[in-house]
Structure 1
Amino acid sequence: MSTKPRVILIVNPNTNTSTTAMMRDLATLELRGSGLEVVGITALHGPKMLIDPENLEASVVHVQDVVRSYLAGPDGSNVSAIIVAAIGDPGRQELSEEVSVPVVGIGEAAILAASQDGRSFGMATSTPLLAPSLEKLVQVHDRAAHFCGVKLTASGPLALAANPQEQFLELRNAVVESVATGAQAVIIAGGPLSETARRLSAENVAVIIEPIPSACRLALKRLGTDLLATR
């Protein structure tokens, strides 16, 4: 019997290892006291940032490949749950049909968290080409009746990735616009936007839904595990 800790595997469909490390660290913070270790893995092929539907769809197989490789390795048997850490949830459904552990998408988790108790919600993001994919994801989870739409930053994702302060300011504006349309909660829609999501949450400009923490909580729920009261 293995004495290694149980693992939540967080898979980054982007090929940017810095983004993987950032999301792993946020998940580790969220899961502190749970007895679970977070391991981050990165897709081996594809772009460093998913910014259009074509790359989002192409990343499905890359997510499957890197997860299969990890599960087949020496630590694969310790995996208790898998988090797909791109807001469009590429490969979540496919993986859930081939593995025996819970598979959670950060988009799925954020939508369910944002809309709980019938709350109206919106999304703020820097990727305009993915807006239709995000709207479709809301429909997949049957939350369209609560959805106030996607609000976009003025600048594109690559420019904002290189300028974290401008990313923060422009996403803050998008959040304010979302609230003005009736959103009671706003999802910061993008795994690479996770640090900015945390900053916005701390500002209390609105009820901010952070996808990585939301996915951690949903994974624990599906595992039947509660966080210890360490906060």
Structure 2
Amino acid sequence: LPPRNAPAAARRIGSDHPVFGYFGNLNPWKGVAVLLEAARQLIAEGLEFELRVHGGAPFQSESFIDEITRLFEETAPTVQQRGPYRREDVADLVAAVDCTIVPSIWWENAPLVIQEAQALGRPVLASNIGGMAEMIEDGANGLTVAPNDPRALASAMRRLAQDGALARRLSAHAREPENIDTTARRYLDLIEAIEPSRIEAA
């Protein structure tokens, strides 16, 4: 995971032109079309914002590619299709946005993209199912919405864009993930706690 930035997270939080970011493969289960439709609704309302979509769409169906191509065309230049990225560039890309959006419509396990955003002090807007709901507490370190609901997602994006105090509070309470040393120590403590009981039972 990238190193934690200074606590004052995003540079444009609460400004007139917030920047949202998406990171990951583009496929139907990741909710990309839902996100683009939400952006289209906000553009129609006249909301000033920017959405940077980072990631490629390998091995996807022609119908899905046609759908997101149309949505990208309808939402440009507010929405920017930035394509695949390198692992070593993640920290800089995440640091350049005010909020990471994880709009998956299926039950993610433990999305690394959420940990990357939180490690850099960025709030996360995510679907309220699976590992996403476990990692993001609505109103604490981010916002959660029902999956596959463009209107709900647009509403949450609007709320973050227009409420600078909320956005800054969510940034300040981003939860830094445990590093590998801390995680290893926790496992060792659990193992050490179990071993004496096994010896006594024997």
Q: Same fold (TM over 0.5)?
A: no
TM-score range, shorter chain: 0.3 to 0.5
Larger radius of gyration: 2
Q: If the length of structure 2 is used for normalisation, what is the TM-score? A: 0.38
Q: Higher relative contact order at CA 8 Å, sep ≥6: structure 1 or structure 2?
A: 2
Q: If the length of structure 1 is used for normalisation, what is the TM-score? A: 0.34
